[in-house]
Amino acid sequence: MKIIPFGALALALLGQTAVQSPPAPDPRTGLIVGQVVDAATGKPLSGAIVSIGGEFLFPATGPRPTPPPRILTGSDGYFVFRDLPRGSFTISAYKSGYADGATGRRRPGGPSQPIEIKPGGRVGDVMVKMWRVASISGTVVDEAGEAIVGVQIRAFRRSVVEGRRRFVSASTAMSDDRGIYRLGDLIPGDYVVAATAQPITAPVMMTGSAFGQPAYAIGRGIPVPPPSKGQAVFVYPPTFSPSGPLDQATIVPLGSGEERTAVDIALHPIRGVRVSGVVTGPDGPAASMQLQMLASGNEAVSLEQDAPSAISDQTGAFTFFAVASGDYTIRVAARSRTPGAQTALPSVLWAATPLSVGRTDIDGVVVSLQRGLRVTGRFEFDGAMEKPAAQRLAQVPVVVDAADGPASISGGAGPSRVDASGQFTTADVPPGKYFVRIGGSPQGWMFKSAMYNGRDVADTPFDLRGGDATGLVITFTDRWSGMRGMVQSADGPDPDATVLVFPVDEQMWSAFGMNPRRIRSVRTSATGEYNFPSLLPGDYYAVAVHDDQAADWRETKFMESLARLATRVSIGDGEKKTQDLHTRDVR
């Protein structure tokens, strides 16, 4: 009989016990105490609703714990969250009259910073800042100085879109019975204010009117009979304060909680003309199509939603009434799906017809619709990992991203379709310059490239015209590359910095689509560390700046300033780069 020493037996039993015993549950004994304050004055804020979020609050296995309650702060602004597991948490605060606050946020709308809690850990010095929103008010008058009632007013905030300065819509209001308007809930920034209204012409069946012909309305006005042929129509064009086009607009700077008054707008009517024609598609006249007349020269402001609009009738006929003189593009872009074809990708019918409008009516305009174009290709996987299952492949979204902004199609860019072998087909898009990107890689895989005609169209746009783009190869790799490091200020590790990374190639600093892969930013942690877990191989500039200087950093000219301060970094295939940085002050 074989004899086993007692010590060996005890060790074996202990080993078995260690294997068989389930892991001890994470004790929910963490604690976070903090205060909500006004960012400008530092005074505590009462009546703020505070909530906490984090993936560790709800474990994937085991009983689902009761979610932490939302807390209403008292006069001292304090809040407390108890019984927290270990993990990373973000605390958010909401209060009427203020922009939302969050842990680590240093500017309105800026990134938050998570709080790390160890088992049983306690954090008692959390401060959540909130910024009081601002407002703009004024009076709208006509050419005789009389107040105008019911005029739509928009505030446009200066922002950066794909490397270019642009004014984007931020708030809307209507003038009251005294001609007075007030635009509230504005975050600090630079604004212009305009009186706008969208002229709409629709067939009688859609307006419910009894005129027996297309009805005409401006903004929220009641449909009225259209003007007779040859009859002069006067309208108020989009007018920026004080009384002109965008290049004559007054810039209104706003600080936190500031109330700007007397931003008045004087409107002057102009004579408009009628533009009419017919919309034809591949199968003949196209009914119920929405057309827009987009004026040239308004690229610096987002006035698309206020452009003159018309809807074609059953014969494809359309009419725009009261169009001001100038250069326009009549645009149509609409999605459709074959009835009963649940799995079919939606198609696009589009048109972009240039038109110059003078002082006389224009009839007989023909707007010819064309079918959209598609991108087809396949997935390839470069690495030792097992290729994702067919079900997972079908969930990978292939995104056709317009190089000059979001695609102006009803319903968005549309879905893609991927089969079990990794062959993909995108939905239709109008002709133009595009990138091809991925909305989410399969688990464990990093999106590497989208090769078409010898170049990576995930980074360099290609012209999609004249026919579908076929044979595109999207490659995923399991050799992840990235960059991490520590940011130091004069006082030590900097928890208030933002790290910016962008390509050395200046050609990639503009027209980079909505989701550029190589122009990235990340906030440092509470210990001054930063991490880009996924960053493609290549040559980059990396620079750390104060977060309040990073709001519009994607502007091309600002990148030029950053490049002079930045550290040049090269990342190889599969390389995990470590690069420490010092916070720089951008002048």
Could you write out the three-class secondary structure of 403-465?
Answer: CCCCCCCCCCCCCEEECCCCEEEECCECCEEEEEEECCCCCCCEEEEEEECCEECCCCCEEEC
Q: Determine the pLDDT at residue 228.
A: 66
Same domain, 434 and 506: no
Residue 89 β-bridge partners: 115
pLDDT of residue 207: 43
Residue 467 lies in a domain: yes
Chain segment 41-53, per-residue pLDDT in tens: 999 999 999 999 9
- Identify the band that residue 224 occupies on the pLDDT scale cut at 50, 70 and 90: low
Q: Are residues 293 and 388 in the same domain?
A: no
Residue after which a domain boundary falls, among 87, 110, 132: 132
Task: Please indicate, yes or no, whether residues 281 and 365 belong to a single structural domain of this protein.
Answer: yes
Under 8 Å between Cβ of 235 and 218: yes
Q: Are 160 and 178 in contact (CB under 8 A)?
A: no
Domain match, 395 and 328 both: no
- The number of domains in the chain is 5
Mean pLDDT, the chain, integer: 86
Assess whether 449 and 397 both reside in one domain: yes
Looking up residue 453, the CATH number of its domain turns out to be 2.60.40.10
pLDDT of residue 298: 75
> Can you list the positions of beta strands (E) in 439-580?
446-452, 455-456, 462-464, 469-477, 482-489, 492-493, 497-503, 520-523, 529-532, 538-546, 567-571, 576-578
pLDDT of residue 225: 58
Does residue 7 lie within any of the structural domains?
A: no
SS (H, E, C) 355-370: EEECCCCEEEEEEECE
How far is CA 177 from its chain centroid?
A: 36
Q: Cα 6 to the chain's mean position, in Å?
A: 67
The whole-number pLDDT of residue 368 equals 95
pTM of the model: 0.83
Query: pLDDT at residue 164 above 80?
Result: yes
Q: 285, 316 in Cβ contact below 8 A?
A: yes
Bigger pLDDT: 197 vs 215: 197
125 found inside a domain: yes
Tokens 């019911």, residue? Answer: 150
Q: Are residues 337 and 246 in the same domain?
A: no
Residue 11 has a pLDDT of 34
Q: What is the per-residue pLDDT for 203? A: 66
Mean pLDDT in residue range 445-469: 95
Place 299 in a pLDDT band, splitting at 50, 70 and 90.
confident
Q: CA angle, corner 399, sides to 572 and 307, nearest 5? A: 130
pLDDT of residue 205: 47
341: pLDDT confidence band, cut at 50, 70 and 90? very low
Q: What is the mean pLDDT of residues 398-420?
A: 70
pLDDT of residue 119: 86
What confidence score (pLDDT) does residue 494 get? Answer: 96
Residue 225 falls inside a structural domain: no
**What's 68's DSSP letter?**
P
Do 457 and 495 share a domain, yes or no? no
Over 92-118, what HEC string results?
Answer: EEECCCEECEECCCCCCCCCCCCEEEC
pLDDT at position 2: 42
pLDDT (0 to 100) of residue 227: 65
Q: What is the pLDDT of residue 578?
A: 97
pLDDT of the residue at 202: 66
CB 160 within 8 A of CB 514: no
Angle at 97 between CA 93 and CA 101, to 5 degrees: 25
Report the distance separating Cα 233 and Cα 273, nearest Å.
7
CB 345 within 8 A of CB 428: yes
- Phi and psi of 239, rounded to 5°? -130, 125
92-96: long-range contacts, CB 8 A cutoff, minimum separation 24: 92/50, 92/51, 92/52, 92/53, 92/128, 93/36, 93/45, 93/48, 93/49, 93/50, 93/51, 93/128, 93/130, 94/48, 94/49, 94/51, 95/36, 95/45, 95/47, 95/48, 95/49, 95/130
Indicate the pLDDT class of residue 217, thresholds 50, 70 and 90.
Answer: low
Domain boundary among 477, 510, 541: 477
* Strand 309-311, strand 290-295: pairing: antiparallel
- pLDDT of 129 strictly over 70: yes
Write the CATH number for 497: 2.60.40.1120
Would you state the structure tokens that stand for residue 23, as one six-digit string?
């892991």
User: What pLDDT is recorded for position 223?
Assistant: 53
Cβ neighbours around 143 below 10 Å, total: 11
- Per-range mean pLDDT, top range of 207-216, 233-242, 535-544: 535-544
Coil, helix or strand at residue 176: coil
204 phi, psi to nearest 5 deg: -60, -35
- Of residues 237 and 211, the one with the higher pLDDT is 237
* Domain containing residue 293: 203-212+272-371
| Same-domain status, 256 and 384 | no
* pLDDT tier at 271, thresholds 50, 70, 90: confident
All residues at 6 or more sequence positions from 456 whose CB lies less than 8 Å from its CB, including other chains: 449, 450
Least confident of 67-71, 121-125, 352-356, 369-373: 67-71
Contact between residue 578 and residue 535 where contact means Cβ atoms under 8 Å apart: no
Asked, for residue 8, whether it belongs to a domain, the answer is: no
The reply to whether 291 and 364 lie within a common domain is: yes
Residue 12 scores a pLDDT above 70:
no
pLDDT at residue 218 in the model: 54
Task: Render pLDDT for 490-525 as a digit per residue (tens, 0 to 9).
Answer: 999 999 999 999 999 999 998 898 889 999 999 999
Q: Is the four-CA dihedral 144, 149, 151, 157 of positive or negative sign?
A: positive
The β-bridge partners of 458 are: none
N-term to C-term CA, the chain: 85
pLDDT for the residue 49: 97
Looking at the predicted structure, is the pLDDT value of residue 324 above 50? yes
CA-CA-CA-CA dihedral for 535, 541, 546, 551, to nearest 10 = -70
| Domain final position from 333, 348, 371 | 371
Write out the two tokens for 112.
């938050």
Question: Binning pLDDT at 50, 70 and 90, where does residue 405 land?
Answer: low
The confidence band for 410, taking pLDDT boundaries of 50, 70 and 90, is: very low
Phi/psi of residue 41, nearest 5 degrees: -105, -20
For residue 97, is it within any domain? yes
Q: Is residue 505 part of a domain?
A: yes
Listing DSSP states for 281-348 in one string gives: ETTEE--S-EEEEEETT-TTB--GGGS-EEE--TTSEEEEEEEPSEEEEEEEEEEE--TT-TTSPPEE
β-pairing, 326-336 with 347-357? antiparallel
pLDDT > 70? residue 133 = yes
